[in-house]
Amino acid sequence: MDVPKDYMTTLLDHGLFASAQMLGSFLVSSSSVNLETSPHLKAENLVLLGDALFREKEYRRAIHAYKQALHFHRIIPKQNASAIRSSLSASTRSSSPNSFNISTINENEVKFKIASSHCALNENRAALLEMEGIPSKARNLQMNLMMGKLYRNSRHTRAAITCYKECLRHCPCIIEAIIALAELGVAAKDIISLFPQTPTRGARSTFDHFDSSRWLQHYVEAQCCIASNDYKGGLEFFAELLRRFPNNIHILLEMAKVEAIIGKTEEAITDFEKVRSIDPYVITYMDEYAMLLKLKSDYSKLNKLVHDLLNIDPTRPEVFVALSVLWERKDERGALSYIDKSIRIDERHIPGYIMKLLWLPSEELKN
């Protein structure tokens, strides 16, 4: 008796990944699937199993399943692939793909899934190698954004800029790409030039298009100002955006970060506290807030902040930096271990390195 594939997709669609993983083991081991005559079915089943494993964070097993799927996908006889193409062009869509000996899986999407698994394991080089096997014309937004991050992590600046720009050409509201381009030194006018300039119909819609895109242009200007150390200009743009979008958590956090850099400690603390009053579960930049509380010797608030962060998500690098700030007075060795752990979680998390630099001189004096 066959294992219905529809049940597997239903489990995945409903987020029942543990059940999907167990059912997937039956699906891929079914004796009714002949590897010589139906490698396409084996490939499709392995992709479904890989999806379940990925969602269960069993990334190594997911990679193995996806690579097996690609293996079976590639051994499908070429003459059968030609037959399905000619048959599909001559017939209606009602024909079932499984009636032909060809896989319905998309090889590029499977490669992207393999790369995503490598990223989850912090294996950036392996992920990049997998992504470079996808033709540039076949890459979607998600793929281009991942490639931008991977190239940036590998210090391939020009390639990273190309990928981020490609993202914005398709969708100008990818904030991650805007921030990355600004930090990589791309001028504001060059970023804005990537935005679609063709409005919808009519003169009124032209005005609406200009007005609705103005906030995004101001956001680009703000990030480019900050990237070029024009903190005053960046704050002015952010303040203008905040008037249009009151209580915007992202803008408040960006302002607090800049205020902390230029020594406006009270203003930064006020903005961080406002963020926590709006959303007490925010973790982004909270380690920098912890540093400010230590600077003000407000250990009561610092203690509460660290306690809250641990209850929200104890796996984030910000939490371990905040822990190191709290424990610096009590146990410097323990504080350093927290710093090292934050860096191991995310080697690009700058506050971890800042704390390490602040800690090392005092340790050297003792030695």
Per-residue pLDDT of the chain (367 residues; tens, 9 = 90+): 577 789 999 999 999 999 999 999 998 988 766 666 578 888 999 999 999 999 999 999 999 999 999 999 988 765 454 444 444 344 333 333 343 445 578 999 999 999 999 999 989 999 999 999 999 999 999 999 999 999 999 999 999 999 999 999 999 999 999 999 999 999 999 999 999 765 544 444 444 444 567 999 999 999 999 999 999 999 999 999 999 999 999 999 999 999 999 999 999 999 999 999 999 999 999 999 999 999 999 999 999 999 999 999 999 999 999 999 998 877 778 888 898 999 998 888 888 888 888 766 555 545 4
Which listed CATH number (1.20.1740.10, 1.10.357.10, 1.25.40.10, 1.20.120.80) goes with 283-367? 1.25.40.10
Tokens of 168: 């914005």
Domain positions in the chain: 1-87, 122-186, 283-367
> Measured between alpha carbons, how far is 50 from 66 in angstroms, rounded to an integer?
6
Enter the CATH code of domain 1-87: 1.25.40.10
Distance CA 320, CA 346 (A): 11
0.75 exceeded by the pTM? yes
- Dihedral angle, C-alpha 46, 49, 54, 57, nearest 10 °: -130
| Identical fold between 1-87 and 283-367 | yes
Per DSSP, the three-state class of 281 is: coil
Enumerate residues 6+ apart whose C-beta is below 8 A from 67: 114
